[in-house]
Amino acid sequence: MAEKTIIAIGQKPVANYALAVAHRHGEGVKVITIRARGARIGIAADAANMALNMGLPLRRGEARWGQEDGPKGRPVSWIEIDLAATAA
């Protein structure tokens, strides 16, 4: 089983990403990273908090942030938020 995975925030409702976290967690992934860029960054935090509120054995991990080239060549901010599985 993979130790880590990344869930990229797109255009779906926030609950979809929280459920994706639950699914990956159920598969045994140890660290689940939620990644978003630009205007979707707030959705990453919402999805992570929603996943925590589901009562799964997950804890807040670290967050990273930065900037990269966006689709139009302009710089776009990104964030990565980690959720870590706790001991069962």
Among 6, 86, 10, 75, residue whose Cα is nearest residue 52: 86
**Binding flags for a second copy, 7-46, as an x/- string (CB under 8 A):** -------------------------------xxxxx--xx
Query: Which residue's entry shows tokens 């009562």?
Result: 55
Site for a second copy in 40-79 (CB under 8 A): 40-42, 45-46, 48-49, 52-53, 60, 62-67, 75, 77-79
Residues 6 or more apart in contact with residue 88 via CB below 8 angstroms: 57
Closest CB to a second copy among 27 and 62? 62
Parallel, antiparallel or unpaired: strands 75-85 and 31-37: antiparallel
Closest CB to a second copy among 20 and 43? 43
